[in-house]
Amino acid sequence: MELIKTIAEMQRVSASFPAHQKIGFVPTMGYLHAGHLSLVEQSNRQCDITVVSIYVNPAQFSPTEDLSSYPRDLEHDLELLTQYKVDYVFFPTNAEMYPAGYKTWVEVEEISNILCGASRPGHFRGVATIVLKLVNIVKPHLMFMGEKDFQQVTVLKTLLTDLNLKTQIVSCPIVREKNGLAMSSRNVYLNPQERQQARCLSETIRKIQSLYKAGITDSAQLIEAGRKHIRERGGKLDYLSLVDSETLEMMLVSNSRTRIILAVFIGKTRLIDNQALVSR
Amino acid sequence: MELIKTIAEMQRVSASFPAHQKIGFVPTMGYLHAGHLSLVEQSNRQCDITVVSIYVNPAQFSPTEDLSSYPRDLEHDLELLTQYKVDYVFFPTNAEMYPAGYKTWVEVEEISNILCGASRPGHFRGVATIVLKLVNIVKPHLMFMGEKDFQQVTVLKTLLTDLNLKTQIVSCPIVREKNGLAMSSRNVYLNPQERQQARCLSETIRKIQSLYKAGITDSAQLIEAGRKHIRERGGKLDYLSLVDSETLEMMLVSNSRTRIILAVFIGKTRLIDNQALVSR
């Protein structure tokens, strides 16, 4: 496994990849968990070379968010990635990615300003910009991303298509803890009681799925049942929506194209989750 | 010379260019004049393959501007490009470049909102987005652009650097008519009297250059002399600035790094021009 710190070196390496080899890329913010590692496994399976980036991108955090406290453990991350036989780990500094005088930002309109984008203004602008930069540096054929960040995957698929880039996104299923909690680096913020409470996100998804199965298609009714459950478990709802899985538009009447998507504060920690209304 | 209308075909062609060949690209809005052709000549000289695009990008025109009347003559353009031994001409449709559901826009902050950007809100956002798309499609090593659009060149150099693209911009000197008027597709809008008046742009540049040579370095004084000249010739000044040629920041005291840059309405036609304060 080769460690790369500079853009110039990463570009030199990516330019040297043989044309017939398939390059897989897993962009991460580090503090790796089983969700990230499932992406690495997928890349290893589908590609000849796997590049993982570790970069906590300041541009996707608002001033009031948890940038400074975001969990980091590079040493452990590198151990894991060595075990998983990653070929290259790219971990640039902020000065590399946003040097003095940096001015260029990418925005995927409409779908960046709803759901998580409404709660986190500027978040997807930061995500879109850094991922575009990383794609230009690494030049992967396939980019592996977790479905936990469902809106992020939608935003980035739109970005790549709109900007005529050839990189394809492979979105991979959410990896969950035994109790249903979606894996997230932010789960480390939870104390034992909050960890119990946090189950309400996946429980809400299952509740809505079963109500739909029982014949309820009115989204307002499904959402109200979900809200009630989160309230009872002591979560503070940020949003709970039933949206079209392609366009992320709200659906008044739910059907097999619907995605359940939600964000909930458990104590001070904001958690997200989502799932298809009808499991495939 | 091969004509290419679709993005897919242009991408197929650009992916097939041999790795050892240097690809030159000249993006244009068509209605080609000697300025454009000087860029083609430069590309032919420095590169193995030259691609010219002809695309009147609606996203860089505001609703009140001249998109619908912008001059077009594809047949004549193709004749000229055949004479100049261009290898590929890419002329996509709007539906190719901005299909239904298009959402992604790139902004180079600060330098996009001054000078021409102040007079034409959204203009450089449209320019940055289309050029990023074209670069992703054509994948050139060198992109040839005219210095008449000095701010555009600065914006696009910043874009390419910030987004970690390897394409380099080669900016080429302004080509002028015998009377000093900078070549522009929009010159066709001028009636004979206006064409005379339009000389005031280059005259203003020469006047400021000679005042500086005579020892005046106070930018306000230099600008006032220029304003006066344009007023006397019946032009309506949009802006006249003395800026740092790298950063485009206004300079209160001018020196050898200063660029004279201006936009003037002659009748209804908005013309631009610029030159180094000290000619090299």
Taking a C-beta distance cutoff of 8 angstroms, is the pair B278, B256 a contact? Answer: yes
Return the DSSP state at A250. Answer: B
Q: Which residue has the tokens 């091969």?
A: B2
Looking at the structure, tell me whether residues A19 and A148 fall in a common domain.
yes
Q: How far apart are CA B50 and CA B43, in angstroms?
A: 6
Domain count, chain A: 2
Q: Copy the structure tokens of residue A71.
A: 């969990």
- For residue A135, being part of any structural domain is answered with yes
The DSSP-derived string for A164-225 is: T---EEEEEPPPB-TTSPBP-GGGGG--HHHHHHTTHHHHHHHHHHHHHHTT--BHHHHHHH
Interhelix angle B200-213/B219-232, rounded to 10 degrees, is: 150
Taking a C-beta distance cutoff of 8 angstroms, is the pair B23, B17 a contact? Answer: yes
Please identify among residues 73-102 of chain B the ones whose CB lies closer than 8 Å to any CB of chain A.
Answer: 102
Looking at the structure, tell me whether residues A165 and A88 fall in a common domain.
yes
pLDDT tens digits, chain B, 280 residues: what are they?
999 999 999 999 999 999 999 999 999 999 999 999 999 999 999 999 999 999 999 999 999 999 999 999 999 999 999 999 999 999 999 999 999 999 999 999 999 999 999 999 999 999 999 999 999 999 999 999 999 999 999 999 999 999 999 999 999 999 999 999 999 999 999 999 999 999 999 999 999 999 999 999 999 999 999 999 999 999 999 999 999 999 999 999 999 999 999 999 999 999 999 999 998 7
Does B166 touch chain A if contact means CB atoms closer than 8 Å?
A: yes
Q: How far apart are CA A269 and CA A201, in angstroms?
A: 13
For residue A126, give the nearest of A194, A56, A40 by alpha carbon. Answer: A56
- Length reported for chain B: 280
Taking a C-beta distance cutoff of 8 angstroms, is the pair B231, B237 a contact? Answer: yes
Domain of residue B229: give its range: 185-273
Q: Does the interface predicted TM-score (ipTM) exceed 0.95? A: yes
Looking at the structure, tell me whether residues A34 and A118 fall in a common domain.
yes
Looking at the structure, tell me whether residues B64 and B158 fall in a common domain.
yes
- For residue B278, being part of any structural domain is answered with no
* Residue to test with chain B: of A12, A96, A141, A164, most B Cβ within 10 A: A164
Q: Which residues contact A265 (CB under 8 A, 6 or more apart)?
A: A235, A236, A237, A238, A271
Does A109 touch chain B if contact means CB atoms closer than 8 Å?
A: yes
- For residue A99, being part of any structural domain is answered with yes
Domain boundary among B115, B137, B172: B172
Confidence (pLDDT) at B229 = 98
Confidence (pLDDT) at B279 = 83
Return the DSSP state at B94. Answer: H
| Per-residue pLDDT reduced to its tens digit, A210-246 | 999 999 999 999 999 999 999 999 999 999 999 999 9
The percent of residues above 90 in pLDDT, for chain A, comes to: 99
Q: What is the CATH number of the domain that holds B62?
A: 3.40.50.620
- For residue A177, being part of any structural domain is answered with no
Domain boundary among B172, B195, B227: B172
The residue of chain A nearest to residue B154, with distances taken between CA atoms, is: A103
Q: Copy the structure tokens of residue A69.
A: 């406290």
- Please state, as a whole number, how many other Cβ atoms lie within 10 Å of the Cβ of residue B249: 11
Within chain B, residue ranges assigned H as helices are 7-16, 34-46, 74-83, 94-97, 116-119, 123-138, 150-162, 192-197, 200-213, 219-232
Q: How far apart are CA B65 and CA B237, in angstroms?
A: 17
Taking a C-beta distance cutoff of 8 angstroms, is the pair A151, A159 a contact? Answer: no
- For residue A70, being part of any structural domain is answered with yes
Return the DSSP state at B218. Answer: B
* Residue in B11, B109, B137 closest to A103 by CB: B109
Confidence (pLDDT) at B275 = 98
SS in 3 state form for B111-132? CCCCCHHHHCCCHHHHHHHHHH
The percent of residues above 70 in pLDDT, for chain A, comes to: 100
- Please state, as a whole number, how many other Cβ atoms lie within 10 Å of the Cβ of residue B8: 12
Q: What is the CATH number of the domain that holds A254?
A: 3.30.1300.10
Looking at the structure, tell me whether residues B138 and B190 fall in a common domain.
no
Mean pLDDT of the A76-93 span: 98
Whether A105 and B102 lie within 8 Å, measured CB to CB = no
- For residue B248, being part of any structural domain is answered with yes
Domain boundary among B145, B172, B199: B172
Looking at the structure, tell me whether residues B146 and B30 fall in a common domain.
yes
Looking at the structure, tell me whether residues B153 and B50 fall in a common domain.
yes
Q: How many CB pairs under 8 A join A and B?
A: 65
The DSSP-derived string for B4-59 is: E--HHHHHHHHHHS-TTSPEEEEEE-SS--HHHHHHHHHHHHH-SEEEEEE---GG
Looking at the structure, tell me whether residues B161 and B240 fall in a common domain.
no
- For residue A280, being part of any structural domain is answered with no
**Mean pLDDT across chain A, nearest whole number?**
97
- Give SS3 for B201: helix
Looking at the structure, tell me whether residues B190 and B145 fall in a common domain.
no
* Residue to test with chain A: of B164, B167, B168, B246, most A Cβ within 10 A: B164
A280: pLDDT strictly greater than 90: no
- For residue A254, being part of any structural domain is answered with yes
Looking at the structure, tell me whether residues A228 and A106 fall in a common domain.
no
Looking at the structure, tell me whether residues B228 and B163 fall in a common domain.
no
For residue A125, give the nearest of B187, B105, B61, B98 by alpha carbon. Answer: B105
Q: How far apart are CA B202 and CA B198, in angstroms?
A: 8
Which residues of B are known catalytic residues? 36
Looking at the structure, tell me whether residues B60 and B116 fall in a common domain.
yes
- Please state, as a whole number, how many other Cβ atoms lie within 10 Å of the Cβ of residue A52: 30
Taking a C-beta distance cutoff of 8 angstroms, is the pair B266, B254 a contact? Answer: no
Q: How far apart are CA A126 and CA A118, in angstroms?
A: 14
| Per-residue pLDDT reduced to its tens digit, A4-43 | 999 999 999 999 999 999 999 999 999 999 999 999 999 9
